[in-house]
Amino acid sequence: MRMNKHCPVCGQATEPETGFYFGTGYVSYALSIALSVATFVAWWVLIGFSLDDNRLFWWLGLNGVLLVLMQPLLMRISRTIWLAFFVYYDPEWPQLTAPQQ
Q: Is pTM, for the whole model, over 0.85?
A: no
| Averaged pLDDT for residues 73-90 | 85
Q: What are phi and psi of 13, to 5 degrees?
A: -65, 130
Tell me: the pLDDT tens digits for 17-68? 777 888 889 999 999 999 999 999 999 999 888 778 888 889 999 999 999 9
The burial of 74, by beta-carbon neighbours within 10 Å (0-12 exposed, 13-18 middle, 19 or more buried), is given as: buried
Domain boundaries, the chain: 20-97
